[in-house]
Amino acid sequence: MATVLVVEDDPFVRSALIRHLSESGHAVRSVGTALEALREVAQVGCDLVILDLGLPDLDGGEALKMIRGLTDVPVIISTARDDEAEIVRLLNDGADDYLVKPFSGEHLTARMTAVLRRLGGGSAPASTVLRVGGLAIDVQRREAALDGRPLDLTRREFDLLAFLAARPGVVVPRKEILAEVWRQTYGGDQTIDVHLSWLRRKLGETAAEPRYLHTVRGVGVRLEAPAPVVERRP
């Protein structure tokens, strides 16, 4: 299993990919533009990128070249274009594989597995455990622990924590949380706040004195490791 960045501007295709990959045990992040993708790759990183070519701000082929200038992360092209010459060009520019739309989730998973196995030289699959400070979140087993102590989380609490932990230190907009954790496109602020409150209680913190979960008013939520405690000597 892997941490996957989905770069897709079509909300329906994007939601379908997120749902399938999440159900397959992968940790999924998604963006809708090339610039957001470049920022994610540079600042957060991932195990594999699924890159659509028809992006609103920059052609996916150019985005591929820019990603290759930053990292060797595997990239699978997702495209409606089936021109052989263009596919050859994309592979020569650094794509590891491609899929022509429409394709099934099972087909995508098989291609991902093949790419990761090939590039990993037959080694064990990428770890599914996300670690942020004392938090350890096993995405495949759907288990979480804080400082070695298991956390008793509901399904939605786990989904929210895993989603934020896949983007440590990044302020995630509430709309994105709502879309990718709750699969809703509007409303739901109160729902997010309630689940954050429950999570904070289980993490031993409060909104007034956060350790891991930080609310950025008017923007979103950030999960990051607590700053180390500096002991003052007398």
List pLDDT tens digits, range 49-94: 999 988 898 888 888 988 888 888 899 998 887 777 888 888 888 8
Instruction: Dig out the tokens for 34 from the structure.
Output: 């090339």
Q: What is the pLDDT of residue 122?
A: 38
Consecutive H or E run containing 203: helix 189-203
Q: Give the span between the Cα atoms of 145 and 131, in whole angstroms.
A: 10
Q: With a cut of 80, say whether residue 28 has pLDDT above it.
A: yes
CATH fold, domain 3-119, is Rossmann fold (3.40.50)
How confident is the model over 117-125, as a mean pLDDT?
53
Q: What is the pLDDT of residue 159?
A: 86
Residues 6 or more apart whose CB falls under 8 angstroms from that of 167 comprise 29, 40, 44, 223
Q: What is the pLDDT of residue 123?
A: 39
Q: What is the pLDDT of residue 191?
A: 83
How confident is the model over 185-205, as a mean pLDDT?
85
Consecutive H or E run containing 31: strand 27-31
Q: What is the pLDDT of residue 87?
A: 81
Q: What is the pLDDT of residue 217?
A: 87
How confident is the model over 146-154, as a mean pLDDT?
92
CATH fold, domain 130-223, is Arc Repressor Mutant, subunit A (1.10.10)
Q: Give the span between the Cα atoms of 231 and 44, in whole angstroms.
A: 30
Which residue, among 170, 139, 157, has the nearest Cα to 202 in the 3D structure? Answer: 157
Q: What is the pLDDT of residue 1?
A: 67
The full set of domain ranges for the chain reads 3-119, 130-223
Least confident of 48-57, 126-135, 162-171: 126-135
CA-based radius of gyration for the chain: 19
Mean pLDDT of the chain: 84
